[in-house]
Amino acid sequence: MAGRSSSEETPSQRRGSSRDKKTLVLVGTTGVGKSSLGNVLLGLDPTVESDDDQQQQEGFVTSASTETCTEAAECRDGFWLGNTSKPVRIFDTPGHGDANDRDYSFRESLAESMRREKHVHAFIWVKNFEEPRFDHQDASFFNVFSQMFGNGFMRNLVVVLTRYNYSSDARRRRQRANSSLTRTMEGIRNQLRIQDLPIFAIDALHDPEDETQSRKFQEKSAALWDVIRDFSRQPVSNVQAVKTELEELNRRYKRLQKSVEKKDEAHAQEIKAIKAKQKELRRAQKDEENKWESLLDSVKESYENSCAEMRRMSSDHQAGMKKLEEQNAELKAKYQRQKKKVEDLQAAQNQRQEPFGGLLGPCTGPPRHRPWFS
Ligand SMILES: Nc1nc2c(ncn2[C@@H]2O[C@H](COP(=O)(O)OP(=O)(O)OP(=O)(O)O)[C@@H](O)[C@H]2O)c(=O)[nH]1
Ligand SMILES: [Mg+2]
């Protein structure tokens, strides 16, 4: 962490008048007690939890819920512990480390409020004393706010440890648990490398009936006021929300994921179009096949019909030939028979015409009185 650098203004310029309204910004991780501290510093009752009651007394809404309670930067004008000689404007902000990943949008809302406000006198980093470790959440909060507000943040930073109870019971409990406020403060200063960082332990929900608790509260809040009073105002009109490294990575991851999803979607569309084209081509191919098949069937059918016709004609022809052959044979036979008959008749006639019954040799000419074939 960077060190606390000195302002370029002179101490008298920086100090400002105690009657000037001091603008304070309560920051820190979620649920540490920012809103409760804001209320108690405005002299309001920090134990009022319900929204309606808080509005009646014009304080910030607080909640014991694990969900982030303050969801936008809110501002209240009032007086330090109700003392009208100490006017204050307190900004309560949504806690860093929101369970629903809204840190960056919370920071945007804060930056917008800051740009409108233009100047801030003190950043009060609220931390829960019961969880004193400087963890990853604290480091990321600190880095991001340092980047947003620059040196002004370091210069005008105060830490308030909430839930530090000053009762003798609580002191004994801390002794038993070996819990030390001094060690906690040293730890924070070492972590942030700001050795003169003002740190105050304040129990916003102290018992006002308890003399020690009440006295300690007055003492610590007066000391806190003294520090704030001496801070010069810091310009915040150019503040822009900054992303943590993790948020930046998440943003890039989401963008990549979206582009992968878009590509997947485009591929899915392409595959769908290809499948539709395939289906169309298969259907056209099937139609073509069906056309060819029916053409082949009709060719085959007409071929078979022609063959059958030819077979029928050939068998008719064969039958006709057979019949003709039979008729021919019959005629031939008839002819042979007739011929034989003629020859026999001729022979008989010849015999009759030969003188002496043919004993003189065969007759060479035809018979004169009767035709030869009768
Ligand atoms: N005992 C004790 N309880 C406290 C103190 N500060 C806050 N609480 C309790 O802690 C719970 C959360 O307090 P809030 O003031 O709502 O905390 P916050 O930081 O504003 O929370 P977000 O707005 O959600 O970030 C409430 O139940 C408070 O009563 C304190 O100093 N002492
Ligand atoms: Mg709050």
Buried b (16+ CB within 10 A) or exposed e, 336-354: eeeeeeeeeeeeebbeeee
Cα of 33 from ligand 2 centre, angstroms:
7
Predicted confidence at residue 66, as pLDDT, reads 62
The response to whether residue 132 sits with its C-beta less than 6 Å from ligand 1 reads no
Tell which atom from ligand 1 comes closest to the C-alpha of 64: 27
Predicted confidence at residue 62, as pLDDT, reads 73
Domain extent, residue 171, equals 11-242
Q: Is 341 part of a structural domain of the chain? A: no
The response to whether residue 68 sits with its C-beta less than 6 Å from ligand 1 reads yes
Check whether 151 has a pLDDT greater than 60. yes
Cβ-Cβ contacts under 8 Å for 266 (sequence gap 6 or more): none
The response to whether residue 32 sits with its C-beta less than 6 Å from ligand 1 reads yes
pLDDT digits (tens, 9 = 90+) for 251-288: 889 999 999 999 999 999 999 999 999 999 999 999 99
**Best mutation site among 26, 63, 96, 125 for ligand 1, i.e. most ligand atoms within 8 A of its Cβ?**
63
CATH of the domain at 221: 3.40.50.300
Check whether 194 has a pLDDT greater than 80. yes
- Band (pLDDT 50/70/90 cuts) for residue 49 is low
Share of the chain above pLDDT 90, in %: 56
pTM, 2 dp: 0.68
Q: Which ligand is nearest to the CA of 69?
A: 1
Residue with tokens 């303050």: 70
What integer best gives the mean pLDDT of the chain?
85
Share of the chain above pLDDT 70, in %: 83
Q: Is 283 part of a structural domain of the chain? A: no
Considering only residues 310 and 12, tell me which one the structure prediction assigns the higher pLDDT.
310
Check whether 361 has a pLDDT greater than 70. no
Residue with tokens 């963008």: 255
Predicted confidence at residue 234, as pLDDT, reads 94
Buried b (16+ CB within 10 A) or exposed e, 126-153: bbebeebeeeebbebbbebbbebbbbbb
The response to whether residue 33 sits with its C-beta less than 6 Å from ligand 1 reads yes
Mean pLDDT of 284-295: 93
Q: Is 266 part of a structural domain of the chain? A: no
The response to whether residue 70 sits with its C-beta less than 6 Å from ligand 1 reads yes
Cα angle 238-243-246, degrees, rounded to a multiple of 5: 165
Predicted confidence at residue 61, as pLDDT, reads 77
Mean pLDDT of 202-222: 95
Q: Is 190 part of a structural domain of the chain? A: yes
Instruction: Give the span between the Cα atoms of 6 and 152, in whole angstroms.
Output: 10
Predicted confidence at residue 10, as pLDDT, reads 41
Residue with tokens 């930056």: 111
Q: Is 312 left (phi over 0), alpha (psi -120 to 50) or beta?
A: alpha
Q: Is 309 part of a structural domain of the chain? A: no
Cα of 49 from ligand 1 centre, angstroms:
10
pLDDT digits (tens, 9 = 90+) for 155-174: 999 999 999 999 999 999 99
Sheet containing 122-128: order of strands? 74-79, 87-92, 22-27, 122-128, 157-162, 199-201
The response to whether residue 148 sits with its C-beta less than 6 Å from ligand 1 reads no
Check whether 360 has a pLDDT greater than 70. no
The response to whether residue 213 sits with its C-beta less than 6 Å from ligand 1 reads no
The response to whether residue 54 sits with its C-beta less than 6 Å from ligand 1 reads no
Instruction: Give the span between the Cα atoms of 151 and 3, in whole angstroms.
Output: 9
Q: Is 157 part of a structural domain of the chain? A: yes
Cβ-Cβ contacts under 8 Å for 86 (sequence gap 6 or more): 18, 22, 79, 80, 225
Mean pLDDT of 340-350: 86
Predicted confidence at residue 14, as pLDDT, reads 44
Q: Which ligand is nearest to the CA of 37?
A: 1
Q: How many domains does the chain have?
A: 1
pLDDT digits (tens, 9 = 90+) for 99-115: 777 888 889 999 999 99
**Best mutation site among 29, 34, 36, 206 for ligand 1, i.e. most ligand atoms within 8 A of its Cβ?**
36
What is the number of alpha carbons within 13 Å of residue 47 lying toward its C-beta? 5
Q: In this structure, which residue's CA is closest to atom 16 in ligand 1?
A: 62
**Best mutation site among 32, 34, 62 for ligand 1, i.e. most ligand atoms within 8 A of its Cβ?**
62
The response to whether residue 110 sits with its C-beta less than 6 Å from ligand 1 reads no
Q: Which ligand is nearest to the CA of 46?
A: 1
**Where is average pLDDT lowest: 270-284, 288-302, 322-336?**
322-336
Q: Is 194 part of a structural domain of the chain? A: yes
The response to whether residue 221 sits with its C-beta less than 6 Å from ligand 1 reads no
**Best mutation site among 126, 138, 159, 205 for ligand 1, i.e. most ligand atoms within 8 A of its Cβ?**
205
Write the DSSP symbol of residue 16.
-
The response to whether residue 62 sits with its C-beta less than 6 Å from ligand 1 reads yes
Check whether 359 has a pLDDT greater than 70. no
Q: Which ligand is nearest to the CA of 32?
A: 1
Q: Is 173 part of a structural domain of the chain? A: yes
